[in-house]
């Protein structure tokens, strides 16, 4: 059953013209992460590489392609967690960085802290030699168009949020049985300056424990935080529920308690995995036993050989 | 059994010469919060008033009296959570604010977000008319002395952390049965710029749910985050454990899984309460049925009439 990697490209509604890009993006990133696992690499290396590829893909709301805040700026959040030690690293509200997930990993590996924010995170990036990138390199034409639309007097902010949840994340178990998660996001369109969502908040945006499993979440950050969604899934697994059952119980709780939809990718130490969502769609993919699994709508589950023609 | 308020002034080691101030500080703040509850006020009003008084008391590592970061600056974190709606508000790495807990509440009440960080939080404070205070007004002679000691070539950073955990927090259930928590801190002495600890991280620094109870935590932030300590206590309560049992199970897990000590104050919807810690000391107080309870060392539990001579 090992190794295994499960990846999401965000829960919500993906416009039809962008859905093919979302699916091919998560499939491609999943192949890259799975290759690392197959060659004996660690789950941490695999989830960071997978999320790096998704950050670099302008289709998703993370890294290049992040949504813009109310000032037209990009502020990004990211989290990694190591299930063996429970060490984690996060950054919040970071700007001018191509790959927040790699900076989050540096926080974990190179500091005694678990989270650095804003200017402090930028200064740390400089000391680590992480290049500063121009804001424009993170902004796509699509992001700017949606931001401008949202400034119009007749804009519907709720509708504007649709189609751009797009947070990305991955969970993996490597051959040694070590578990890791990674999540990265540009947050909410038109968010206030300095808004921090669920992604860098351990237990909400993600959680990993070798004894239980790992989860990466996506959806409306403020709602996910209300129920500490990632940790909630794992608590249900600790009570004996399967990865699917636990994921659905936690998503059902978020729906009934705070009336919000979202999605999760989940693994357990044995390599059982799930990609579950209560939203209309979630672009997801998984790799196990040289098979690539993927889907977008509820109930969709396509499979092909991992080395087959590129989806 | 209702109303009830439980308060802590930080887990760790309090130097003897400061322990009286710690005890009298938490007792005084507890009296102020309990008065609000007795007069029919909300649990949220009570915990925010209690924590505001502790922030204003230079004895504690929150607001005035916060420890200094590596640059000799003060950056503070705070969180409130409303157990009825699961709404929360937090600020991280905020500077030049007298009462971060009040700013956290404004984030909850006046924005659609759950956390604002650094400069974004400062700008929000300005729009809310929260006065900017000079850095010097937050720094005590004691904080500066400890920071300078820690810069000495022969300083022992571990020893320097001792005696200044001092995070403050409160949990309460009001007459209407609504539950709230509040936690505020200056963080870790000599922390990096932009370091965010457990306090503003929902589920780690605190959590409140009318259906389960509430917890505010204190200890080494990075360790608390590893086990999402507040939510962990509440999960144990959901499994049928008492407030004491659940608090001890969660603290035992933090000790065995990540070798770290800390403390919690916990309430359930019926008004059962606990103040538990694995550290040498935790200054705590509770008010219920017009009785003030308080202690500092394990096993200590003094009581007196809430209207009795001031402890």
pLDDT (tens digit, 9 = 90+) per residue, A232-290? 999 999 999 999 999 999 999 999 999 999 999 999 999 999 999 999 999 999 999 99
The Cα of A161 is separated from the nearest Cα of chain B by a number of Å equal to 13
* Residues tagged in the binding site annotation of B for substrate: 195-198, 218-221
Query: Best interface-test mutation with A: which of B201, B204, B234, B254 has the largest number of A CBs within 10 A?
Result: B201
CA distance B308 to B265: 23
CA distance B104 to B109: 9
pLDDT number for residue B292: 98
pLDDT number for residue B161: 57
pLDDT number for residue A151: 79
> Residue B161 gets which letter from DSSP?
H
Residue A71: closest CA among chain B residues belongs to which residue?
A: B120
Of residues A86, A88, A117, nearest to B257 (C-beta): A86
pLDDT number for residue B311: 57
B42-70 pLDDT per residue, tens: 999 999 999 999 999 999 999 999 999 99
| Interface contact A115-B202, CB threshold 8 A | no
Query: Best interface-test mutation with B: which of A103, A188, A196 has the largest number of B CBs within 10 A?
Result: A196
CA distance B185 to B60: 8
Q: Is A195 annotated as a binding residue?
A: yes
Q: Give A311's pLDDT tier (boundaries 50, 70, 90).
A: low
Q: What are B's interface residues with A at a Cβ cutoff of 8 A?
A: 75, 85-88, 90, 92-93, 111-121, 123-124, 191-197, 201-204, 207, 221-222, 225-228, 231, 235, 239, 257-258
Q: Give A153's pLDDT tier (boundaries 50, 70, 90).
A: confident
Query: Best interface-test mutation with A: which of B228, B232, B236 has the largest number of A CBs within 10 A?
Result: B228
Closest-CA residue to B26 (of B167, B125, B213, B156) = B167
A84-137 pLDDT per residue, tens: 999 999 999 999 999 999 999 999 999 999 999 999 999 999 999 999 999 999
pLDDT number for residue B17: 81
Mean pLDDT, range A142-153, rounded to an integer: 85
Closest-CA residue to A66 (of A107, A91, A97) = A97
Rounded to whole angstroms, what are the CA distances from B278 to B186, B247, B250? 21, 10, 10
* Residue A36 reports pLDDT greater than 90: yes
Q: Is A196 annotated as a binding residue?
A: yes
* Residue A309 reports pLDDT greater than 80: no
The Cα of A247 is separated from the nearest Cα of chain B by a number of Å equal to 16
**Residue A47, token pair as written in the block:** 């989830």
pLDDT number for residue B150: 80
CA distance A35 to A23: 18
Q: Count of A–B CB contacts within 8 Å?
A: 147
CATH architecture for the domain at B4-305:
4-Layer Sandwich (3.60)
Q: Please name the residue ranges forming H helices in chain B.
A: 16-38, 43-56, 100-110, 118-127, 141-151, 157-161, 221-226, 229-238, 243-258
Question: Is residue B8 classed as helix, strand or coil in its secondary structure?
Answer: strand
Could you say which of A50, A52, A167, A266 is catalytic? A167
CA distance A48 to A109: 13
**Residue B105, token pair as written in the block:** 């509440």
What string of pLDDT tens digits covers the 311 residues of chain B? 999 999 999 998 888 888 899 999 999 999 999 999 999 999 999 999 999 999 999 999 999 999 999 999 999 999 999 999 999 999 999 999 999 999 999 999 999 999 999 999 999 999 999 999 999 999 999 999 988 888 777 776 555 455 556 899 999 999 999 999 999 999 999 999 999 999 999 999 999 999 999 999 999 999 999 999 999 999 999 999 999 999 999 999 999 999 999 999 999 999 999 999 999 999 999 999 999 999 999 999 999 999 877 65
Question: Is residue B214 classed as helix, strand or coil in its secondary structure?
Answer: strand
Contact assessment for residue B229 and residue B204, using Cβ atoms and an 8 Å cutoff = yes
Q: With beta carbons under 8 A apart, name residues in chain A contacting B123.
A: 193-194
What is the separation, in whole angstroms, between the first and last Cα of chain A? 23
Mean pLDDT, range A54-71, rounded to an integer: 95
**Residue A259, token pair as written in the block:** 């009336």
| Interface contact A228-B231, CB threshold 8 A | yes
Positions of B annotated as catalytic residues are 167
Q: For A187-210, b where at least 16 C-beta lie within 10 A, e where not — what string? A: bbbbbbbbbbbbbbbbbbbbbbbb
DSSP H helix total and E strand total for chain B: 9, 13
B139-149 pLDDT per residue, tens: 999 999 988 88
CA distance A116 to B15: 30
pLDDT number for residue A150: 80
| Interface contact B195-A115, CB threshold 8 A | yes
Q: Give A164's pLDDT tier (boundaries 50, 70, 90).
A: low
What's the burial of B299, exposed, middle or buried (CB within 10 Å: 0-12/13-18/19+)? exposed
**Residue A262, token pair as written in the block:** 């979202």
Q: With beta carbons under 8 A apart, name residues in chain A contacting B194.
A: 116-121, 123-124
Mean model confidence pLDDT for chain A: 94
Rg (CA), chain B: 17
Task: Give every CB contact of residue B152 below 8 A, 6+ residues apart in sequence.
Answer: none
Strand partners, B273: B267
Q: With beta carbons under 8 A apart, name residues in chain A contacting B195.
A: 113, 115-116, 120
Strand partners, B307: none
Dmax of chain B from CA atoms? 55
């Amino acid at each position: 059953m090992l190794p295994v990697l499960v990846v999401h490209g965000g829960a919500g509604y993906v416009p039809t013209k962008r859905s093919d890009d979302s699916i091919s993006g998560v499939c491609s990133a999943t192949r890259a992460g799975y290759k690392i696992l197959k060659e004996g690499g660690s789950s941490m290396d695999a989830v960071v590489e997978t999320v790096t590829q998704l950050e670099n893909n302008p289709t998703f709301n993370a890294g290049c392609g992040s949504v813009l805040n109310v000032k037209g700026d990009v502020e990004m959040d990211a989290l990694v967690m190591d299930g063996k030690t429970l060490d984690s690293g996060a950054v919040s509200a970071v700007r001018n960085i191509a790959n927040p997930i790699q900076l989050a990993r540096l926080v974990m590996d190179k500091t005694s802290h678990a989270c650095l924010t804003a200017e402090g995170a930028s200064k740390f990036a400089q000391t680590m030699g992480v290049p500063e990138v121009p804001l424009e390199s993170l902004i796509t034409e699509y992001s700017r168009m949606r931001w401008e639309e949202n400034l119009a007097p007749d804009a519907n902010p709720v509708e504007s949020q649709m189609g751009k949840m797009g947070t990305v994340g991955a969970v993996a178990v490597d051959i040694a049985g070590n578990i890791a998660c990674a999540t990265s996001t540009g947050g909410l369109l038109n968010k206030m300056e300095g808004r921090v969502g669920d992604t860098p908040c351990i237990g909400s945006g993600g959680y990993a424990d070798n004894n239980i499993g790992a989860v990466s979440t996506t959806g409306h950050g403020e709602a996910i935080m209300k129920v500490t969604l990632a940790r909630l899934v794992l608590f249900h697994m600790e009570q004996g529920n399967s990865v699917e059952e636990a994921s659905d119980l936690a998503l059902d709780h978020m729906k009934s308690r705070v009336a919000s939809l979202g999605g999760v990718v989940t693994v357990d130490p044995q390599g059982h995995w799930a990609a579950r969502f209560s939203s209309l769609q979630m672009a997801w993919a998984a790799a196990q036993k040289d098979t690539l699994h993927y889907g977008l709508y509820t109930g969709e589950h396509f499979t092909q050989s991992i080395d087959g023609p590129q989806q």
